[in-house]
Amino acid sequence: MIVRVFGLSVLVSLAALAAAFLYRGWTGLALCAILGILEVSLSFDNAVINATVLERMSLFWQRMFLTVGIVIAVFGMRLLFPLAIVWITGGLAPAEAFRLAMNPPPDGADHFPDGSPSYEAILLEAHPQIAAFGGMFLLLLFLNFVLSNRDLTWLSWIERPLGQLGRLDQLAVVIAMVVLVVVAEYLSPDDSRATVLISGLLGAVTYLLVDGLSSLFQRRQPGVFGGSPDDGPGDASAMDTDTSTRTGRDPHPTTVAVGKAGFFLFLYLEVLDASFSFDGVIGAFAITPDPILIALGLGFIGAMFVRSITIYLVRQGTLGQYRYLEHGAHWAIGALAVILLLSIQIEVNEVVTGLVGVAFISAAMASSVRANRCDGRRRSDHEAAGTH
């Protein structure tokens, strides 16, 4: 299982390290390895959340996530996304932005001798808008989770009251909009207030649109959630009935999204992954401004391993074994959303971001282990009592 799931990631990582060595020697190899480790450490909560979505997808869409999805993650978010920001915010042609990226100013300066800004400086200047978009997307994801009334709670002292409050329709959107207004008013630079507000609104709209579409098509899927059989024969064509090999548990057809439902879940997963990658892409520039090394480290190493971890969690049924893992991941998302929004004005070290996520995930796993042990002792006591 481990070799099958992680084998390709190991091979791709070795190839990326070799390419980094040929490109920049030992320095390039070291920087590429550091960036890969940074991405994996920052994105474990991303893998857990991805797994919760991937469990609802057929094997066909899981394969799409590992093939087409990795191309989007590597080349779209880790290479083209920073270049696109420079194109837009710097008013440069794509070729000029790439030339700027490949030819940084001497001695690591922020500007060239003629006073023009470097690629890194332009990207960092756009950080408030990036943070607002990603922060609002992740904040809505977190709020929709904690404001849901769930039978299973982890931090019950706060999750149960929040679940009760969540009975108020659209409360998550109301809270998110209030947070955005406060951030734009008190944390945004004066010359970026309007763009931060617009970027935050776009992040919220993106979440609501993609999440709404995926939910809509899941409800309409034939045979799933009471969907109509007239929704189209193509919707069921992508169904993989052998879901037991996918999750390690008995298949449950109402949890598997196919056709249009699977496509919108795939789209939701890609936008979610993009939102998670914002802090890693921006943080990478504290290590190196070289876009080639960033793509190799964050994309070919980091993104590949995050996807392998996601698949491993699904096929091992880890979310079922560790009952609070999903809760911990969502609290880590909430912390990341807050950090992204605060970073509009306050510089937050990437190590802090990574440690916060690891702390929530570790605490949730420890709580799950304790709960499983308590259940085991209760079963043993019950069986022992039954024999007397």
pLDDT, residue 279, reads: 65
332-386 pLDDT, tens digit each: 889 989 998 998 888 887 777 778 888 898 899 999 999 989 988 888 877 777 6
The per-residue DSSP string of 10-35 comes to: HHHHHHHHHHHHHHHHHHHHHHHHHH
One-letter amino acid identity for 334? G
pLDDT, residue 217, reads: 63
Domain range for residue 381? 2-386
The per-residue DSSP string of 175-237 comes to: HHHHHHHHHHHHTS-GGGHHHHHHHHHHHHHHHHHHHHHHHHHHHHSBTSTTB-GGG-GGGGT
Do residues 239 and 258 make contact, with C-beta atoms less than 8 angstroms apart? yes
Structurally, the chain folds into a number of domains equal to 1
Residue scoring higher pLDDT (220 or 21) = 21
What average pLDDT score do residues 311-340 get?
87
Angstrom distance (rounded) from CA 388 to CA 367: 32
**Residue 230 CA from chain centroid, whole number:** 34
pLDDT, residue 177, reads: 96
One-letter amino acid identity for 122? I
Neighbour-count burial for 266-303, b at 16+ CB within 10 Å, e otherwise: bebbbbbbbbbbbbbbbbbbebbbbbbbbbbbbbbbbb
Do residues 307 and 62 make contact, with C-beta atoms less than 8 angstroms apart? no
Highest mean predicted confidence (pLDDT) among 27-41, 209-223, 251-265, 270-284: 27-41
Report residue 45's pLDDT band, with 50, 70 and 90 as the boundaries.
confident
Residue reference for tokens 């009592």: 385
The per-residue DSSP string of 62-74 comes to: HHHHHTHHHHIII
Beta pairing partners, 222 = 227
Residue scoring higher pLDDT (150 or 387) = 150
Beta pairing partners, 117 = 111
173-228 pLDDT, tens digit each: 999 999 999 999 998 888 888 999 999 999 899 889 888 877 776 665 544 333 33
pLDDT of 85 > 80? The answer is no
H or E stretch covering 265: helix 259-284
